[in-house]
Structure 1
Amino acid sequence: MFLRILDRLEEIIIAGLMGAATILIFISVVHRFGTGVPFLYPYLIAIHISWAQELCIYMFIWMAKFGAAYGVRTGIHVGVDVLINQLNDRWRKAVVLFGLAGGALFTAIVGTMGAKFVIELMNTDQVSPDLELPSWLVYACIPLGSYLMCFRFLQVIWTYYWTDELPHHDATRVEGIEVSQKAPIALGEA
């Protein structure tokens, strides 16, 4: 059960944050334009949601950090492999493993530096401007997202070392839709 949730952790976090941000932005826009309606003005002006923009910014930052980990896990993270694919199998595997290890090392360093920064912020009274959230809570996405990304790099290294398979995202495949062999677009003839 735990591993099943861990395998979908990024998707759960991103979907939750994206849904909440969408609802919050919708409410904020309705509130902003609703205050321009004369009979709604007295009711809506008493509701203060100036903090909504700040919260949405933080939500999108968290989505970006966890989205990067999702990109590593699913193979949609940016990578240039034109020259690497020209190498023989032995050298290609060594170069790919070196690159993945470099990614894991980099994200571990960023996560550690981010954790140090967050721990230092915990000892201060610094808060965000509108929400007045403790700043360490806002910046906690740096170590959490970076360590998750490091973990995903290590997972990819392990899988690639033993199976020679990298995660690959096929942009032409949509889950639940079957491609007909008679369709000209599916055959690349359109």
Structure 2
Amino acid sequence: MLARAIGRAEEGFIALLLAAMTCLTFTQVVLRYVFNSSLIWALETITYMFAWLILFGISYGVRVHGHIGVDLLVKALPLAARRAAGLLAIALCVLYAGIMLYGAWGYVGRIRMLGALAEDIPVQRWILASILPVGFALLAFRLLEQGWAILQGRAAGFELADEARVTLHGHLEDDGAGRGEGPK
């Protein structure tokens, strides 16, 4: 239930950010080439929105198995070894996300303490950078979710994008649980 709510929020934020970036970029192009003008704050705003999009997208990619990887050898392993390799990979990824979360938390805390403002946007920089700890916490959550699926036997290993299936079928289908497991 919580995972589904977080998933819907992720999708909503991703769609909102993509739409806002598109509209703002289009407005900026029209202003620049038709009216020989521009919005001073637009480039910085789009840059921050893109950073937010990437960090939400990382956890979303884990959820829908959209990240690519070389897993030819892992797929050739027996099921128990594939699960162990998946759990090891997930443990290392969670460690990475934890280190990044720790660093991001400290960074956001320091710029909050300094009271630094963004260059062109009248917003404190720590608010704009707050996606860093949020994004890495979401990544850790999604990775732990993958690990739990392996431990419960619902997954054979750390599932990545299946490029061959995408090429053959043109897309990954969503099974309703946001796992993007492809055709049934």
Task: Calculate the TM-score normalised by the size of structure 1.
Answer: 0.79
Matching of residues 2-151 of structure 1 within 5 Å: 3-36=3-36, 49-151=39-141
Cα contact 2:41–2:121 (8 A) shared by 1: yes
Distance 1:136-1:26 versus aligned 2 partners, 3 A rule: same
Per residue, is there more helix in 1 or in 2? 2
Alignment RMSD: 2.1
What code does the residue aligned with 1:8 have? R
Structure 1: state its 5+ residue gaps.
37-44, 177-190
Structure 2: state its 5+ residue gaps.
175-184
Aligned residues with identical type, % of pairs: 31
Cα contact 2:7–2:60 (8 A) shared by 1: no
Residue of structure 2 in register with 1:183 after alignment: none
Cα contact 1:74–1:167 (8 A) shared by 2: no
Per mean C-alpha deviation after superposition, the further-off stretch among 140-149 and 116-125 is 116-125
Task: Calculate the TM-score normalised by the size of structure 2.
Answer: 0.81
Distance 1:174-1:115 versus aligned 2 partners, 3 A rule: closer
Distance 1:98-1:60 versus aligned 2 partners, 3 A rule: same
What code does the residue aligned with 1:123 have? M
